[in-house]
């Protein structure tokens, strides 16, 4: 069974359709790249996985559970990392992780925090978050998302604003989550990142799936030498189809 299932998803905001007829699935031990420009419908799609948005139509399931009907069970299996997620400024990083970790009734929360402190290179955990750089904040956000060892992980533009070292850390983290058997959705508009870490990719534009396959399959489909050029070719084909009489 796929850990993430999205079938014929539609998301609407009033009379505007953000996602239309979108389908894909993700299995354990797989990184699925959801690629597309800003406004393509990526974030709306991912928010349905956490139950933050109710679909107008279609089916969404996380580990077989409906996020709208059984949100508590879904959130115990799911971790989300988004760009610029706010953190409590007056807390230290360690205090914040204790606060978030308390929701999951972990048997050894302090041990888990100590593990993540070493794993994510966070020697600054006892400093106030208000003094953190963007990269430091994002590492704490990553730790927050995986403190309960979820088997489904969603990253939405997680490297926005990060320096080279912090960006590299996120990519290595994604690979490590796949290796431990998690199902990972990696949403980005940075094609080089997706080319490096994704096993399969779905190209979304205008709320619809334009193409799907492994990186190599998309390169062969378009004749491009890298994923960025393949993406541009696929987007160009979509525009041509839209204007064709």
Domains and CATH numbers, the chain: 4-85+151-243 (3.40.50.300)
pLDDT score for 224: 93
Q: How far apart are CA 102 and CA 97, in angstroms?
A: 8
User: How does residue 241 score in pLDDT terms, banded at 50, 70 and 90?
Assistant: low
Q: Strand pairing partners for 212?
A: 202
Angle of helix 93-101 relative to helix 134-146, nearest 10 degrees, comes to: 20
Query: 14 or 84: whose pLDDT is higher?
Result: 14
Q: How far apart are CA 236 and CA 238, in angstroms?
A: 5
* Mean model confidence pLDDT for the chain: 91
pLDDT score for 242: 58
Residue 44 has a CB neighbour count (10 Å cut-off) of: 21
**pLDDT tens per residue, range 149-202:** 999 999 998 888 788 888 888 899 899 999 999 999 999 888 889 999 999 999
Handedness of CA 148, 145, 120, 181 (dihedral sign): positive
| Helix (H) or strand (E) run with residue 155 in it | strand 152-156
Closest CA to 181 of 43, 35, 63: 63
Question: What predicted TM-score, i.e. pTM, was given to this entire model?
Answer: 0.91
**pLDDT tens per residue, range 121-134:** 899 999 999 999 98
Q: Are the beta carbons of 159 and 84 closer than 8 angstroms?
A: no
Handedness of CA 211, 214, 215, 218 (dihedral sign): negative
């Amino acid at each position: 069974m796929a850990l993430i299932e999205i079938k014929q998803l539609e998301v609407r905001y009033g009379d505007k359709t953000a996602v239309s007829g979108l389908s894909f699935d993700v299995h354990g031990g797989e990184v699925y790249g959801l690629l597309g420009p800003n406004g393509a419908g990526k974030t709306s799609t991912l928010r349905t996985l956490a139950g933050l948005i109710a679909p107008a139509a279609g089916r969404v399931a996380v580990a077989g559970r409906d996020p709208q009907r059984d949100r508590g069970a879904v959130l115990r299996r799911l971790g989300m990392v988004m760009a610029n997620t706010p953190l409590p400024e007056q807390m230290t990083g360690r205090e914040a992780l204790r606060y978030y970790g308390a929701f999951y009734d972990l048997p050894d929360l302090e041990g888990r925090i100590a593990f993540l402190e070493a794993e994510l290179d966070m020697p600054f955990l006892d400093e106030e978050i208000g003094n953190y750089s963007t990269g430091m904040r994002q590492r704490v956000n990553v730790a927050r998302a995986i403190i309960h060892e979820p088997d489904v992980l969603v990253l939405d533009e997680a490297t926005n604003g990060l320096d080279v070292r912090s960006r590299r850390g996120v990519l290595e983290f994604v690979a490590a989550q796949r290796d431990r058997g998690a199902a990972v959705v990696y949403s980005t508009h940075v094609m080089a990142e997706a080319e490096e870490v994704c096993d399969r990719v779905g190209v979304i534009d205008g709320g619809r799936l334009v193409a799907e396959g492994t990186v190599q399959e998309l390169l062969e489909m378009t004749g491009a030498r890298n994923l960025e050029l393949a993406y541009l070719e696929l987007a160009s084909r979509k525009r041509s189809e839209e204007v064709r009489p």
